[in-house]
Structures are given as structure tokens and as C-alpha cells.
């Protein structure tokens, strides 16, 4: 016998060890709360017992159609019940869930289907016009196509020959699915937006999905039976793992095909929505929506915000219209949020603007993440917590992806030195909270000085006429780069470039004041992130033609 006394005869067995998987949560909730509402979509409503049975039908039908353990099942769906069900039914079949960004073009979709080797694709009529040419681009066997029609959408354009409801009808509602053999097994594949080069396929495992689903509850303080409105696309990092969170807390999923402030406020009022998540752009739309849309809503709604570094002004504005905002941060590679700007009760006594500033930081690791810090990526030394020394934000722990699919080089680079490199630049503040200053590629270097585009944007957002703002580098003969600002103004607001410059001069060192100001509609990704690479192109051309 070797080792200490605790290493003898105390091994794992079926009674004391079970792989962690978020699939356990839906089994529990369907059994404990079978008659509680699980999913609401327009006129349709399901109970947890019904949703669980539909997930099992889906799993068994996938297996009957030849899907095997480790096969990929792709989804091109808005936030509709089949999308929620796929988060359980696909892994119950042992397969891997690959949700596709519904705003992609056919080429990008084709790349993902090919690279992920999807065996099945479930799709919505709204995207038939993208899927059809994407399929034409595929080499080799095409995936099995299942069309999920939706009563809440007028179109019925189909790509395949199978209908989702028929597919389910052929499945077994009591299908005896099993947990993964290993909690390290893949549960999901999520492609990064890939602003340069091909997108990378981020692979999640069951263990991480389970822990992040639980961490969402603990780190947010989310109660059982929360009513959650799907303002966040489920295709985005699996809706930050919230499908699994909602199964754990036996809550209500209120579906939403698209972000429409009138509909959102109506659903908040009617369904007594208690929780939402979203990018700053979503909150921006809600803040700036006509006040009468909010009439009759008497309760406060808890809101998680992330997706891009949110300006404090957005947090402040959201609080003013009745959202209790918690700021989180993460990336596709960290299952969505893996850090939270954990609040301190004493912040409640601060004026709203100072509180928003505190809340606007990326904060500290999630309860079930192990590490978040800022390091010099060359030396892998933590920067001093002085709020000034810049470094790269790094994560470590169980809420970090398995790696990039079929891309060992990128995987190794991402994990160099035993930490996940986010590519975001920031500082450690004296209280240990992390604050992003910029994406490494977004820093503007002007006359040898670094300018944080975020810092300039923060100032722009404080101007009352500004709805959305983005600052990028513009090539400049004298300075190397200068800041250029792109601004969307609020409806009916009158403002000139000179006004903006004057406002910036009040709050910024002169070298940080934008040298070029343009009023326009900003290019955005599906999740509301501003596409800075597009703006950089605009800035370059503007510079060249001047």
C-alpha cells in the first residue's frame, strides 16, 4: 500500500462520483417542478415536464437519425423554444451543440458547418436565404436539415424536408439518455466572430457549463423561479450559459425573436420579468425608448450587462429607468461572463454617477472561476495594483474553454504560461478590481503616447446628444496615429463637431481629443458590439483622401 491513509480503499464508484453536467439540472427541475412554466413564446407556453419530454424526444430522434457521440449539431435559430430545447436535447444525444450567429453571411456559415463537421442543422425560416447558399458552398456530405417553423414569424421558407415538430413527434419522450462518460467531454462549439482571418471554434465541456450555470446564480444572487427575458441571443456563448442556469433555478424563459424595446417593455410588464442580460447597446435602446413604453411597470428588473466595456453612462442610464445593473465580463472562451464587478453595499450611498463608475469595472473573478488578473504578457508578472500600469487581462480556471477546435497552435498561444490571454488591456485598481482600458488592437498611439479609446468614448457618452460612440486610430503623418470619433446622435438632438470637441477638451488632455469627428450610423455585430475594424478602415480611407 502506498500513499497516506486517505489514499487507500476510498476510490470513485457509481455511488459517490458522477460527471458534472448541466443536463442534471433539467432532470431535477422537471421532476421537482413538473407543472411550473419553463418557456413562454408568444401564445405558446410549456411546463418543465413538457420541455424535458421535448428535449428527450429531440435526443432520441437525433440518435435515430444517426447522430453519434461527439458529432456536431448546428443551430441557426433566434431565441425560440427549439433553441432552448437544443441546449439539452443535443448533449443528451452525446452530441455537441454548435449555435450559429444568425447575422452571418453564407460564406461564414459554410465555413463553420464545414470546419465543425455538422451532421445536422436545425434552422429557422428567417434564415433560409442564408442557409441555402451556405449549403451550396459545402464540400462533401451535407448535414441533415431540420426546419423549425415558428408561429411568431410570418415566413415559412424551408430549406430541408424535415420539420422540427415532426422530428420531435417521432422521438421518444422517455428516452433514457445518459450523462457524458467524462465531464471533460465537449458540450458546445462556439465560433468567435473572427474579425481577422477565419473564426476559431471555441469548445466548452460539461464541467464548465455546469459550473458557469451555477456561478451565474451565485455571483448574480439569482433566486429560484426567476423570470428571465431572452434579450441576449442564445447563439452567443450559449446565452452566457443561461439556458442551463434557468434549468437549475426552475425559472421561466420568456423567448424573444428580436430586440424590440416596445415588445421588451410589454413582456416585462405582462410576464413580470425579473431578470435580463444584454450588451450595452440593448440597454441603450431601452434607456432611449419613449417613456410611455415603461408605463405600468412597477417592479425593478435585475440586469446583467457585458459584451463590450460598457460606458458608465449606460449603467447610470439603465439604473435611472429601473434596472438594477450588475456588470460582468468575459469572452466566448470563458463561457461568457467569468468575472463580475461584485458590488459593495456601501456603494449604494454613492451618487449614481460615482456608483456607475465603480460598477463599470470588469471586477473580480466569478465564484467558480479561479483567477482573473492583469499581467505583462511577456514576463507573466502581475502588474502593480496602482490603477495605471497597463497589462493584459488573463483568466485561469474551470470557466476557461477546452481550447480551439482543430487549432492546436491557437490553443497553445491562448494558454501560454498557464493563463488564458484575453487580448484585452487594462489595469488593476488598488482594490484589486480589474478595469479594461482597451483591446490591445484598439489602443491609439499618438506621438508615442498611448491613448485609451475607451477613455475617450467614456467622455463622449457623457455628452447629452450622444447615443453611441466609438473611437479608433487614424493614421497621421505627424503623430503616427490620432483619435477619430464616430458618433450616433439621439433622435432630435442637434450637435456639431465643434460642440463635441469643446466637450472633450473640458474632460480630456489635449492630445486625447479626437482630431476627426464623424456623425453616422455605427456598424455593429449581432450582439451589439461596434465593429471597430470597419471604423478603422473608414478612418484609414478618410486619412488617405484628405
Cell of 247: 434549468
Please identify which residue in 2, 16, 196, 292 interacts with a copy of itself, judged by CB under 8 A. Answer: 16
Q: Report helix, strand or coil for 475.
A: strand
Alpha helices in 34-163 (DSSP H): 48-64, 81-92, 106-116, 128-137
Least distance from C-beta 173 to a copy of itself, angstroms? 17
The answer to the question of residue 392 lying near a copy of itself (CB under 8 A) is no
The answer to the question of residue 6 lying near a copy of itself (CB under 8 A) is yes
Least distance from C-beta 340 to a copy of itself, angstroms? 9
CA dihedral (312, 316, 317, 322) positive or negative: positive
* 12 vs 478, beta carbon nearer a copy of itself: 12
C-alpha pair distances (Å), 178 with each of 38, 115, 181, 319: 22, 27, 8, 44
* 207 vs 503, beta carbon nearer a copy of itself: 207
Q: By CB under 8 A, what part of segment 49-68 binds a copy of itself?
A: 68
Q: Which residues pair with 316 in a beta bridge?
A: none
Please identify which residue in 134, 209, 214, 428 interacts with a copy of itself, judged by CB under 8 A. Answer: 214
The answer to the question of residue 12 lying near a copy of itself (CB under 8 A) is yes
Q: By CB under 8 A, what part of segment 86-105 binds a copy of itself?
A: 96
The answer to the question of residue 194 lying near a copy of itself (CB under 8 A) is no
* 402 vs 463, beta carbon nearer a copy of itself: 402
d(CA 42, CA 255): 8
Stretch that binds a copy of itself, among 13-21, 257-265, 291-299, 452-460 (CB under 8 A): 13-21
Please identify which residue in 194, 432, 447, 464 interacts with a copy of itself, judged by CB under 8 A. Answer: 432
Q: By CB under 8 A, what part of segment 33-52 binds a copy of itself?
A: 33
Q: By CB under 8 A, what part of segment 331-350 binds a copy of itself?
A: 342, 344-345
Strands across the sheet containing 391-396: 381-382, 371-376, 391-396, 420-428, 434-439
Q: Which single residue is written with the C-alpha cell 429607468?
A: 321
d(CA 55, CA 411): 32
What string marks each residue from 108 to 147 as x (binds a copy of itself by CB under 8 A) or -?
A: ---------x------------------------------
Please identify which residue in 45, 156, 178, 224 interacts with a copy of itself, judged by CB under 8 A. Answer: 224
Backbone φ, ψ for residue 97 (5° rounding): -85, 125
Please identify which residue in 44, 45, 66, 70 interacts with a copy of itself, judged by CB under 8 A. Answer: 70
d(CA 186, CA 205): 4
What string marks each residue from 369 to 388 as x (binds a copy of itself by CB under 8 A) or -?
A: -x------------------
Distance of CA 285 to the CA centre of its chain: 18
Q: Which residues touch 31 (CB under 8 Å, ≥6 apart)?
A: none
Please identify which residue in 120, 134, 248, 331 interacts with a copy of itself, judged by CB under 8 A. Answer: 248
Please identify which residue in 57, 87, 361, 396 interacts with a copy of itself, judged by CB under 8 A. Answer: 396
Q: By CB under 8 A, what part of segment 401-430 binds a copy of itself?
A: 401-403, 405-408, 411, 414-415, 418-420
Please identify which residue in 50, 147, 150, 185 interacts with a copy of itself, judged by CB under 8 A. Answer: 185
**Nearest CA to 26 among 243, 184, 193?**
243
Least distance from C-beta 181 to a copy of itself, angstroms? 11
**Nearest CA to 168 among 56, 63, 77, 91?**
56
Q: By CB under 8 A, what part of segment 466-495 binds a copy of itself?
A: none
Least distance from C-beta 376 to a copy of itself, angstroms? 17
Please identify which residue in 133, 155, 170, 223 interacts with a copy of itself, judged by CB under 8 A. Answer: 223
The answer to the question of residue 1 lying near a copy of itself (CB under 8 A) is no
* 226 vs 484, beta carbon nearer a copy of itself: 226
Stretch that binds a copy of itself, among 2-10, 83-91, 169-177, 530-538 (CB under 8 A): 2-10
- The answer for 363, left when phi > 0, alpha when psi is -120 to 50, beta otherwise, is left
What string marks each residue from 145 to 184 as x (binds a copy of itself by CB under 8 A) or -?
A: ---------------------------------------x
* 340 vs 471, beta carbon nearer a copy of itself: 340
Least distance from C-beta 338 to a copy of itself, angstroms? 11
Stretch that binds a copy of itself, among 152-160, 392-400, 436-444, 461-469 (CB under 8 A): 392-400
Strand locations in 178-273, DSSP E?
186-191, 201-205, 227-229, 252-254
* 136 vs 370, beta carbon nearer a copy of itself: 370
Q: Which residues touch 4 (CB under 8 Å, ≥6 apart)?
A: none
393, 374 Cβ separation under 8 angstroms = yes
- The answer for 406, left when phi > 0, alpha when psi is -120 to 50, beta otherwise, is left
d(CA 431, CA 401): 28
Give one DSSP letter per residue of 505-516, joined into a string. HHHS-GGGS-SE
> Residue 467: exposed, middle, or buried by beta-carbon count in 10 A (0-12, 13-18, 19+)?
middle
Q: Binding residues for a copy of itself, how many (CB under 8 A)?
A: 71
**Which H helix or E strand runs over 39?**
strand 37-41
Amino acid at each position: 500500500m502506498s500513499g497516506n491513509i486517505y489514499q487507500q480503499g476510498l476510490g470513485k464508484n457509481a455511488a459517490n462520483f458522477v460527471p458534472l453536467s448541466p443536463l442534471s439540472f433539467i432532470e431535477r427541475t422537471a421532476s421537482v417542478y413538473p407543472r411550473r412554466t419553463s418557456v413562454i413564446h408568444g401564445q405558446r407556453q410549456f411546463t418543465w415536464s413538457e420541455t424535458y419530454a421535448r428535449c428527450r424526444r429531440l435526443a432520441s430522434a437525433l440518435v435515430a437519425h444517426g447522430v453519434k457521440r461527439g458529432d456536431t449539431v448546428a443551430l441557426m435559430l433566434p431565441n425560440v423554444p427549439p433553441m432552448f430545447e437544443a441546449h439539452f436535447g443535443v448533449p443528451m444525444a452525446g452530441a455537441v451543440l454548435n449555435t450559429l450567429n444568425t447575422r452571418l453571411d453564407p460564406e461564414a456559415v459554410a465555413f463553420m458547418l464545414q470546419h465543425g463537421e455538422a451532421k445536422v442543422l436545425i434552422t429557422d425560416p428567417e434564415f433560409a436565404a442564408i442557409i441555402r447558399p451556405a449549403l451550396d458552398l459545402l464540400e462533401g456530405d451535407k448535414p441533415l436539415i431540420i426546419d423549425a417553423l415558428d408561429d411568431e414569424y410570418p415566413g415559412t421558407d424551408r430549406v430541408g424536408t424535415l420539420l422540427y415538430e415532426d422530428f420531435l413527434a417521432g422521438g421518444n419522450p422517455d428516452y433514457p439518455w445518459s450523462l457524458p462518460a467524462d465531464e471533460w467531454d465537449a458540450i458546445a462549439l462556439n465560433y468567435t466572430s473572427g474579425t481577422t482571418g477565419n473564426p476559431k471554434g471555441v469548445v466548452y465541456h460539461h464541467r464548465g457549463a455546469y459550473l458557469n450555470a451555477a456561478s451565474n446564480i451565485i455571483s448574480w444572487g439569482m433566486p429560484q423561479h426567476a423570470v428571465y427575458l431572452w434579450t441576449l441571443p442564445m447563439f452567443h456563448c450559449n446565452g452566457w450559459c443561461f439556458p442551463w442556469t434557468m434549468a437549475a433555478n426552475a425559472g421561466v424563459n420568456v423567448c424573444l425573436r428580436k430586440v424590440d424595446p416596445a415588445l421588451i417593455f410589454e413582456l416585462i410588464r405582462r410576464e413580470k420579468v425579473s431578470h435580463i442580460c444584454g450588451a450595452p447597446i440593448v440597454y441603450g435602446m431601452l434607456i432611449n425608448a419613449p417613456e410611455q413604453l415603461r408605463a405600468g411597470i412597477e417592479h425593478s428588473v435585475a440586469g446583467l450587462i457585458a459584451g463590450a466595456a460598457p460606458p458608465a453612462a449606460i449603467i447610470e442610464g439603465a439604473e435611472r429607468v429601473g434596472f438594477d445593473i450588475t456588470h460582468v465580463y468575459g469572452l466566448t472562451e470563458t463561457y461568457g461572463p467569468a468575472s463580475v464587478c461584485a458590488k459593495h453595499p456601501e456603494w449604494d450611498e454613492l451618487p449614481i454617477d460615482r456608483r456607475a463608475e465603480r460598477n463599470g469595472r470588469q471586477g473580480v473573478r466569478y465564484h467558480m472561476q479561479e483567477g482573473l488578473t492583469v499581467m505583462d504578457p511577456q514576463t507573466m508578472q502581475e502588474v502593480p495594483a496602482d490603477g495605471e500600469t497597463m497589462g493584459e487581462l488573463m483568466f485561469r480556471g474551470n470557466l476557461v474553454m477546452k481550447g480551439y477546435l482543430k487549432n492546436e497552435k491557437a490553443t497553445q498561444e491562448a494558454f501560454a504560461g498557464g493563463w488564458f490571454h484575453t487580448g484585452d488591456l487594462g489595469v488593476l485598481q488598488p482594490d484589486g478590481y480589474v478595469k479594461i482600458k482597451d483591446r490591445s488592437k484598439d489602443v491609439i498611439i499618438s506621438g508615442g503616447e498611448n491613448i485609451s479609446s475607451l477613455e475617450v468614448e467614456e467622455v463622449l457618452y457623457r455628452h447629452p446628444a450622444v447615443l453611441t460612440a466609438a473611437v479608433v486610430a487614424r493614421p497621421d503623418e505627424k503623430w503616427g496615429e490620432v483619435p477619430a470619433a464616430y458618433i450616433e446622435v439621439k433622435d432630435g438632438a442637434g450637435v456639431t463637431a465643434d460642440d463635441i470637441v469643446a466637450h472633450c477638451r473640458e474632460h480630456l488632455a489635449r492630445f486625447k481629443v479626437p482630431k476627426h469627428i464623424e456623425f453616422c450610423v455605427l456598424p455593429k455585430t449581432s450582439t451589439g458590439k461596434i465593429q471597430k475594424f470597419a471604423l478603422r478602415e473608414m478612418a484609414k480611407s478618410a486619412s488617405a483622401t484628405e
